[in-house]
Structure 1
Amino acid sequence: MMQSLLSSSVEQDIVTDPFPYFSTQTAIAPEVCAQLIAEFPPLETVTQGMPTASNERFSYPARLALSNKGLSPLWREFIEYHVSQAFLNQFVQLFQNQIRACYPNFEADFGRIDQLRAGIRGLDDFSNADVLLDAQICINTPVVGAPCSVRRGHVDAPNKLFFGLFYLRPEADFTTGGDLEIYRLKDREQVYRGGFVDDHYLKLVQTIPYQTNHCVIGINSIRSLHGVTVRNVTDQPRLFFNLVGEVNRPLFDTSPYALSPTWVDRTIEQSAKAVKKLARVVRSRTA
């Protein structure tokens, strides 16, 4: 049987503050993890031949991976399991109490939790599935020019029920940074810019290192704030496996908690509008 990233977890492992998640440093058998790293597909496969910039994320979705005979059998089996009904059932069994706690109306809106039907994002739709799953082979490209973070404090898209990250760091990668941080809000709630929150409104709860065979899986909510630390300049890509479970409508809305625009924000916005207006005038006079 294909190893699941949830196999070694029980409900008692779940942390509930500031949101429900668990992490483990030994997600699967070490020899299987090592084989996944050794058989990680070429970067041009993950990027699909697109040009790359410094520390840029690329995700190769299950809908493409499952039909790509160039991927190793182990990788195809690993992906196939993590977009299966069996995996969704395993996730639900582990997190069902936390789903109900986060979303008391979930079953009224989406159906009984123990009967949720799985589909594959990009191949199925919500006419024949309740949760669309994806299992992506992912990279952050090498860092050139200056150290940077690929993404700071944020919550994921509001139609995402859960997220998962499984790290596949090669032994040759000695780069510092690229760790996952879990946050809670400090002392106010009206701090969101869409799904993002500036660092000075956040309090660090836990750092989950970018470490081989380390996995974190959690419920996505308005409180599921996380981000990635700055990576130093390196020729090494950051390798990981990403899990997604989407439902057919938003689970939360950050707009009531939007950060009130400051004088600086309003000035920048007004300046941008002025520049656009001037550009239109110049174009009209030179046409």
Structure 2
Amino acid sequence: MSSYSVSSVLARAGRADIRLDPFPHIVIPDVLEAAGYAQLAESYPGFGRIGWDDPARRIPSNQRFMLGADMIMADSGMPDCWRAFAARHSGPEFLAEVEELFAGHWHPALRRVLDGRLTGHTTARLSFMTAPPGDETILQDARIEINTPVSGKASVSRGAHLDTPNRLFTGLLYFRDPADDSVGGELVLYRWRDGVSSQPFAFQQPAEAVEEVVRIPYRANQLVMFPQGIHALHGVGMRHPTPHMRRYVFITAELRQDWLADWLADGEA
């Protein structure tokens, strides 16, 4: 890992970058130094490593596949830059950076569950290879993800939704291929149209339940990040037929308990 100098994706982000509409979030272009980003982008894994290496097996259109940080770090065949990047962004040092950046924007229910702070708790990496670790409070991940090429008609991989109710924050760092001339695939931010849905954690909200507010381009070396909350509605824009993968790193942390659902169940919405 020593051949790759790891800088945080938040190194160029500050509190002045936080946008409040429709919920607190940041959009930071060129978050990684050019040479470091290029090293990661040029060695971004292909579908054969993320999905399966069987040319006879059909690749589904516009579907999500992923490699967790634990899988990246355990794979000696992965480039050192990726192993170092995954380690840097799935550890407690990075969690502290996220907490500080979004201070004042964390949901009150989350602060209560965590005794007022995100740091100072036991942490571990979210595991996709083994059973979850013992009793750590916070599980972190920095995983490589793709949406497969769109081989059929134009489609949406996932429309307006809230992330899982145990999530602390969501971060998306895009690795759009320079040759990717596809149309669509933006990140879309929404707000509830007539109050919070009766099924807020459905896989996808019906169109009439939400309204679009912001459309963020799918752009290379751009970071989007936001704390979890009942208003953190987002989705992926329509993708049109393309042979290219939609490439990004998903940086996140979560608890073992569904703190946001528990808050709703207590009637505090």
Q: TM-score scaled by structure 1?
A: 0.82
Structure 1 residues 16 and 193: alpha-carbon distance in aligned structure 2, compared to 1, 3 A threshold: closer
Letter paired with 2:143: Q
Equivalent residue, structure 1, for 2:238: 230
Q: TM-score scaled by structure 2?
A: 0.87
Contact residue 88 and residue 118 of structure 1 kept, 8 A: no
Secondary structure (helix, strand or coil) at the match of 2:230 reads coil
2:113 counterpart (109, 112, 115) = 109
Letter paired with 2:46: P
Tell me the CA shift for residue 56 of structure 1: 0.6
Tell me the CA shift for residue 253 of structure 1: 2.4
Equivalent runs, 1:56-205 vs 2, <5 Å = 56-99=63-106, 102=107, 104-113=108-117, 114-122=119-127, 125=133, 127=135, 129-190=136-197, 192=199, 194-195=201-202, 196-205=204-213
Distance 2:110 2:191 in 1: 23
Tell me the CA shift for residue 48 of structure 1: 4.4
How much is the aligned-residue C-alpha RMSD, in angstroms? 2.0
My pick for the range that moved more, 191-200 or 159-168, is 191-200
Distance 2:52 2:169 in 1: 26
Structure 1 residues 59 and 164: alpha-carbon distance in aligned structure 2, compared to 1, 3 A threshold: same
Deviations, residues 46-72 of structure 1 (Å, cap 9, x unaligned): 114485310010011111110111111
Distance 1:202 1:30 in 2: 37
Equivalent residue, structure 2, for 1:8: 12
Tell me the CA shift for residue 7 of structure 1: 1.0
Secondary structure (helix, strand or coil) at the match of 1:138 reads strand
Ranges in structure 1 where 5+ consecutive residues have no aligned partner: 257-287
Distance 1:97 1:17 in 2: 15
Q: Are 2:258 and 1:221 equivalent residues in the alignment?
A: no
Equivalent residue, structure 2, for 1:40: 44
State, as a whole percentage, how many aligned pairs show the same letter.
28
Contact residue 133 and residue 244 of structure 1 kept, 8 A: yes
Contact residue 161 and residue 251 of structure 1 kept, 8 A: no
Contact residue 191 and residue 197 of structure 1 kept, 8 A: no
Secondary structure (helix, strand or coil) at the match of 2:104 reads helix
Deviations, residues 156-202 of structure 1 (Å, cap 9, x unaligned): 00001111111000110000001100011123433536433112322
Letter paired with 2:35: E
Letter paired with 1:41: P
Letter paired with 2:197: Q
Deviations, residues 28-83 of structure 1 (Å, cap 9, x unaligned): 11222222111111211111448531001001111111011111111111111001
Tell me the CA shift for residue 119 of structure 1: 1.4
Distance 1:65 1:200 in 2: 40
Higher helix residue share: 1
Distance 2:48 2:115 in 1: 40
Deviations, residues 228-277 of structure 1 (Å, cap 9, x unaligned): 01111111111111112001211222977xxxxxxxxxxxxxxxxxxxxx
Contact residue 178 and residue 230 of structure 1 kept, 8 A: yes
